[in-house]
Amino acid sequence: MPRRIDIEGAFRAAIKREASGRQTVSTQDFVAQLVAVNWEWSLKEANDWIESHVSTFKDVSTCEGQARTFMLYNPNGGL
């Protein structure tokens, strides 16, 4: 059974940290982490959640569509 508390954990698990310190998360990785905790979301649903619940990541996608990439732009802030 899916639990709402697992959504934020799935988002945190989807964050990729590069050696340069840059932190990014892709919608596909977030959806894959959600599946692991019994949530079945579309890319649009995942994007909507990120846009409404996470204020420290901005969209840095290079292509149009639902498969998007978000980058941390305020490393001193939290979710």
Please give the pLDDT value at position 5.
93
Question: pLDDT tens-digit profile of 20-71?
Answer: 889 999 999 999 999 999 999 999 999 999 999 998 899 999 999 999 999 9
Burial 47-75 (b: 16+ CB within 10 A, else e): bebbeeebeebeeeeeeeeeebbbebeee
Contact 57, 50 (CB under 8 A): yes
| Cα–Cα distance for residue pair 30/15, rounded to 1 Å | 8
Average of per-residue pLDDT across 15-24: 93
Residue 78's pLDDT band (boundaries 50, 70, 90)?
Answer: low
